[in-house]
Amino acid sequence: MKDLEVEGLYITRKRKKWKFAHFDSYVNCFSHARTDSPDITKQALESYLPVGQPLVLEIAAGNAQFSLQLAKKYPDHNFIAIDIKSDRLYTSAKQALEEGVSNIAFLRMSMHELEHIFSEQSVKVIWLTFPDPFMRKRSIRRRLSHPLFLRKYRDILKDTGLLKFKTDNRDLFLWSLEQFVAENWIFAELTFGLHESALSDDYKIMTYYEQKFTAEGIPINLVSLATHKH
Ligand SMILES: C[S@@+](CC[C@H](N)C(=O)[O-])C[C@H]1O[C@@H](n2cnc3c(N)ncnc32)[C@H](O)[C@@H]1O
């Protein structure tokens, strides 16, 4: 059993390495680290995506299947799926290239870098999908719905922009709602049972984690928030 586990680990590592290498060679994939020039990353993204289309970001995108479905449905919008882990983004990046979906890019980057790559008032919608809950007290600042991140989102969103957040984790959701109130976000839509709600079918397109949790019967929470009164 032990040998099998070790072998499994080895294969997983190899597969990850392979995905890292391919991610870097794909024309729709981009990486940005703290030490890189933000202008170069920005220019690379801008020259890849169609000019002049509204921008939608998915943050903590994981395998980014959600963004890819939205990109196919809305070819008149640009999508950028962001995650710190490129081996996760890789799957949808490959599929997008194979299917000729050219209004989506995949960006390996920590969310701490967000405001260096996206200008103020440049984003129409930010989707925060099933971020890690980081439930331990000392990890709270890593939550992507922490005020530290909410301020970054506010800065890059257009005045008419929206932040949309979905998660299975009720504790994280309730904590996040408190942060949204404290940070003066305006509630546009709220549900504790997305898939039973009358909200947009777009919202019900499932992420990888959402598929797993929904199959287990766990309800999905969603909130949509504006920075300003529309
Ligand atoms: C639980 S997964 C959810 C993935 C996807 N949204 C889904 O629903 O299937 C959370 C993702 O957030 C990413 N993540 C966590 N902290 C991050 C950070 N500071 N910057 C970028 N990505 C981060 C992780 O790499 C992971 O892929």
How large is the C-alpha radius of gyration of the chain? 18
Ligand 1 mutation target, pool 16, 58, 65, 83, most atoms within 8 A of CB? 83
pLDDT at residue 230 in the model: 62
pLDDT tens sequence across 18-70:
777 678 889 999 999 999 999 999 999 999 999 999 999 999 999 999 999 99
Alpha-carbon distance of 192 to 220, in angstroms, equals: 6
Find the CATH number of the domain harbouring 135: 3.40.50.150
pLDDT at residue 25 in the model: 87
Alpha-carbon distance of 42 to 63, in angstroms, equals: 22
Range of the domain at 67: 2-226
The total of structural domains in the chain comes to 1
pLDDT tens sequence across 188-228:
999 999 999 999 999 999 999 999 999 999 999 999 999 97
Whether residue 1 is predicted with pLDDT greater than 50 in this model: the reply is no
Torsion on CA atoms 67, 69, 71, 73, rounded to nearest 10: -140
pLDDT at residue 143 in the model: 98
Confidence of residue 8 (pLDDT cuts 50, 70, 90): low
pLDDT tens sequence across 83-114:
999 888 999 999 999 999 999 999 999 999 99
Identified catalytic residue from 24, 39, 132, 202: 132
Residues 55 and 122: beta-carbon distance below 8 Å: yes
3-state DSSP assignment of residue 132: coil
Ligand 1 mutation target, pool 132, 166, 204, 220, most atoms within 8 A of CB? 132
Whether residue 125 is predicted with pLDDT greater than 70 in this model: the reply is yes
Q: What is the DSSP string of 78-123?
A: EEEEEES-HHHHHHHHHHHHHHT--SEEEEE--GGGHHHHS-TT-E
Residues 177 and 183: beta-carbon distance below 8 Å: no
How far away, in angstroms, is 144 Cα from ligand 1 center?
Answer: 9
Alpha-carbon distance of 90 to 93, in angstroms, equals: 5
User: Is the entire prediction scored with pTM above 0.75?
Assistant: yes
Verify whether ligand 1 is closer than 6 Å to residue 60 (CB atom). yes
At CA 218, angle to CA 172 and CA 161, rounded to 5?
Answer: 50
